[in-house]
Structure 1
Amino acid sequence: MARITPLEWPVLRQLRSRDSTGRGAAVTSKKTRATKPRTDDADKVVQSICPYCAVGCGQKVYAKDDRVIHIEGDPDSPISRGRLCPKGAASEQLVNSAGRQTKILYRAPHSREWEALDKDRALDMIADRFLEARRRYWQDEDEHGNPLNRTLGVASLGGATIDNEENYLIKKLFTAAGAVQIENQARI
């Protein structure tokens, strides 16, 4: 480690720079002066919304080489004004987690193994099962002849991470399909 000469002592730097309160650059160390923000290396900054709850706090996502390196609160957001809760502040770990699933996995009934599916096949399987459950449990009328036009074979339980517009569209979709069991985590 290099020796500090007496001329580099903070009190002498303070007197030379007329920093009477000792709160300016005169009292900072070389290490502090060499410190730079971890976001300086970012190639781009993208505004986003925190994925954890329905509040919609604004985030600034810093990326380098198409990889997220840091996420912080967006001071321009009228909702959070630059602040994030602990979960929102840790959302970079959600993106870069080694255990993050990036494939659609399916396990057939009575199978012990998971298989990876492509998106089109998975969507077709979901649609087929949705339509079959709707058809099988469709009720035209009750025992007194009153029209029901509903199914108890499908239901929706939404999460708090979807916003009001998505909840509105899900409610419309499931109501049009005849479902009556439509709920959202935010109401429970």
Structure 2
Amino acid sequence: MARVREGLLGRAGEWLRDWSVLRQLHGEDANSTAAESAASRRLRPRLEEADTVGTSICPYCAVGCAQLVYAKGNDIIHIEGDPRSPINAGTLCPKGAATFSWLLNPNRLTTVKYRAPGADHWEDKPLDWAMERIAQLARRTRDETFVEKLPDGTVVNHTMAIAQLGGATLDNEENYLIKKLCSGGLGMTWIENQARI
């Protein structure tokens, strides 16, 4: 029993000697390593494990804050604001700071969901199937509703049955191409961007 007590007292003494508060109270400079302990010296930043650092843009709003994405192998291990960005200078709002957690959320949908007309359940479909279906429905709607001329003979070449809403983080060049496709190629008139809404 005495050995156990001595062992406990010895470990408690080591812990007290290593406790940064007591060292600072005994006069060690608080700006030195006095705030460190043996446990804190063993800690390593998780970003040290990253073997790749990529850049991204926060997907939430029209601000377009830059992000640094840290990965180890094929796994993302951290996302933070990019301090080189003139837009956000390394800061992120609460939504942007949560990018990592929603990206790896087990409830995040990662497959195309389709519910047939009149069905009471969703089905998983391949992405290629969904893209082809969207293209077919857009083309069919355009063809069925396309107006070449107004009754007075004015040439309009448009459809009023389809609209396009762009994402807030698209840049000017992407928006330009989308506008050319939607208005010039498909004849759409209702074209808007989330950044303005």
Superposed displacement of residue 94, structure 1: 2.0
> Structure 2 residue aligned with 1:24, among 17, 20, 32?
32
> Is the counterpart of residue 34 in structure 1 residue 42 in structure 2?
yes
1:1-188 maps to which residues of 2 (within 5 A)? 2-4=11-13, 8=18, 9-11=22-24, 14-15=27-28, 19=29, 22-176=30-184, 177-188=186-197
Code of the aligned partner of 1:146 = T
Counting aligned pairs with the same residue, the percent is 46
* TM-score, length-scaled by structure 2: 0.82
The count of corresponding residues between Structure 1 and Structure 2 is 183
CA RMSD of aligned residues (A): 2.1
Aligned amino acid, residue 60 of structure 2: Y
Shift of 1:91: 0.3
One-letter identity of the residue aligned with 1:86: P
Q: Which has the larger share of helix?
A: 2
The 4+ residue runs of structure 1 with deviation greater than 6 A are none
Larger mean Cα displacement after TM superposition, 33-42 or 139-148: 33-42
Distance in 2 between residues matched to 1:157 and 1:166, nearest whole Å:
13
**Is 1:150–1:178's contact at 8 Å kept on the other side of the alignment?**
yes
- SS state of the match for residue 80, structure 1? coil
Contact 2:47–2:78 at 8 Å: present in 1 too? yes
| TM-score for the superposition, normalised by structure 1 | 0.86
Structure 1 stretches of 5 or more lacking a match?
none
* CA distance in 2 between partners of 1:49 and 1:161 (Å): 7
